[in-house]
Structure 1
Amino acid sequence: MATAPALDRIRVGSAPDSWGVWFPDDPRQTPWHRFLDEVAEAGYPWIELGPYGYLPTDPARLTDELDRRGLKVSAGTVFTGLHRGPSVWQDTWEHVGRVAALTRAMGARHLVVIPSFWRDDRTAEILEPPELTSEQWGHLARGTERLGREVKETYGLDIVVHPHADTHIDTEPHVARFLDATDPDLVRLCLDTGHYAYCGGDSVRLIETYGERIGYLHLKQVDPEILARVVADGVPFGPAVRRGVMCEPPSGVPDLEPVLAAAQKLGVDLFAIVEQDMYPCAPNAPLPIAVRTRRFLRSCGA
């Protein structure tokens, strides 16, 4: 049996999201200490911080908890609404600063930036129009460049912007418009294969077209049958996740092996962090899925 070529530029990890964690504190979520125990047991050396406040925010305590399990942090995550213009900068920077400081203290080098949702991921309430005006696109581009510059200067971190369902950076045209409007020295992408497929995008084509802008990967797959029903019914992202639209690889799309091969060809070191979007989920569901997913990724060479 032929073995997959080694993906020696890809560093695999997982995240609280794969344990059903979307919020800093929610009784339906996996407790943080169980997540750490199980992600290590599943064989992932790298993790993300997840929502700020889910894991301990005291650097000394968190370092001790990670060291005891042989874990390291690849990135923190922040949420922004920079399309709203300069008026949101101060609040954004306060949020970013807390997360960036902890991320730096953990020795990580990346900050995943998720644009704000235009409909609520809990309630599905429409919060604002799904399409930005030209002025708002300008605010988004300039604000993200400023964020990239100031995060680098202040914390030594690189931002990677995460195209995400039910945000304004989602489809292929929106992602291309965002990339074409921003400085590649300041702004790169966290390509989430599942979200991009959910919104109709082709991850391999994106890597091949904008390779120099790919700074980070999130690995997940979409169940195409459930997605077709979600699209037909106009189901928001949160309820779609509860329907199981994000599925365990290799049962969905996109095929992750070509994605990883395309990323390897870029010739740069990339994190590839597994995220399945399982909120909410049964307490005993994540670990077996994580173990099988790690085995699958090894079969791909990662």
Structure 2
Amino acid sequence: MPTNTASVPAPNRLRIGSAPDSWGVWFPDDERQVPWERFLDEVAEAGYDWIELGPYGYLPTDAARLAEETGRRGLKVSAGTVFTALHRGPGVWDETWAHVSRVAELTRAMGAGHLVVIPAFWRDDRTGEPIEPPHLAPERFRDLTAGTERLARRVREEYGLDVVVHPHADTHIATEEHVTRFLDATDSSLVNLCLDTGHYAYCGGDSVRLIETYGERIGYLHLKQVDPAVLADVVRDGTPFGPAVRQGVMCEPPRGEPALEPVLAAAGKLDVDLFAIVEQDMYPCPPDRPLPIARRTRHYLRHCGA
């Protein structure tokens, strides 16, 4: 493990946390997921101070109750998360806002400052079957960028939260080409990026190069790695993301790619406060698997200076 941490951001600039995703949680309610009480107990036990809300409805949605449950475990909330299909145009706005406003209200009530926005999958998230073309036509791309700016403006005005868009496998913002096109087409005063190192590597991107090129647009980090051998099989076979996760494509650091030390060093050079939330997609997983991984990952990140 690395011992030279001089180029890695100081702890007061990088706030390390974890998320329900690292406990195999993808849905508000699923019998294959650990109960939310166990997640909160174990994420605190593993040494994390910050968490994300995860899928809305997994954790209690009553702010007073959630504040009591997190507070007595020494946990704080960094962000809420929403999925949106803004590329489908103004016709989806009302439905989108109804969901976003609920999540944003709880996020603000918990003292968090970010809303992570994930584009809708072009494949069904349970079956993996294609439901849309994988590439956006120009008019749909314009709907995506305009809708995201509209959403970010309203979220900031009404809830005081910053929108960070999360490039994600099997969505229309996934590859390096997608990401740079999206950033170039959106207002940096409204829309920034949640860089997920694992998803970006999954789709062929270089996280360090993205940070060095678009550093002013990096508003939030998800720390994650992919297993290159499994990824090679996934790419060869065209495997959808859900089955790829079940094959183990996302792996425990430092066993995969990208190497996190250079990512942390590049983030440190930005000289800004950043949340860095550990995620390891592994839905579904045995209930006793997440905690040991979470402990080891937190220990590893401390050795990286984070």
Range class of TM-score, shorter chain: over 0.9
Matched residue, 1:216: 220
Paired positions, count: 302
Matched residue, 1:13: 17
Give, in angstroms, the shift of residue 3 of structure 1: 4.0
Q: How far apart, in 2, do the equivalents of 1:12 and 1:180 lie?
A: 29
Q: How far apart, in 1, do the equivalents of 2:125 and 2:249 lie?
A: 14
How many percent identity over aligned positions?
Answer: 77
Matched residue, 2:237: 233
| Equivalences for residues 77-92 of structure 1 within 5 A | 77-92=81-96
SS in 2 for 1:113: strand
Contact 2:9–2:269, Cα closer than 8 Å, also in 1: no
Matched residue, 1:33: 37
Matched residue, 1:4: 5
Q: Which runs of 4+ in 1 moved over 4 A?
A: none
SS in 2 for 1:69: coil
Matched residue, 1:114: 118
State the superposition RMSD in angstroms: 0.8
Matched residue type, 1:79: F
Give, in angstroms, the shift of residue 121 of structure 1: 1.8
Q: How far apart, in 1, do the equivalents of 2:216 and 2:194 lie?
A: 12
Matched residue, 2:160: 156
Matched residue, 1:65: 69
Q: How far apart, in 1, do the equivalents of 2:9 and 2:254 lie?
A: 18
Matched residue, 1:254: 258
Matched residue, 2:282: 278
TM-score (structure 1 length as normaliser): 0.99
Matched residue, 2:52: 48
Contact 2:168–2:199, Cα closer than 8 Å, also in 1: yes
Deviation string, structure 1 residues 129-188 (Cα, Å, up to 9, x no partner)? 000000001000100000110000000000000000000000000101100100000000
Matched residue type, 1:7: P
Q: Is the counterpart of residue 167 in structure 1 residue 167 in structure 2?
A: no
Unaligned residue ranges in structure 2 (runs of 5+): none
Contact 2:3–2:304, Cα closer than 8 Å, also in 1: no
Q: How far apart, in 1, do the equivalents of 2:71 and 2:259 lie?
A: 34
Contact 2:36–2:59, Cα closer than 8 Å, also in 1: yes
Unaligned residue ranges in structure 1 (runs of 5+): none
SS in 1 for 2:72: helix
Q: How far apart, in 1, do the equivalents of 2:182 and 2:246 lie?
A: 29
Give, in angstroms, the shift of residue 4 of structure 1: 1.8
Give, in angstroms, the shift of residue 120 of structure 1: 1.2
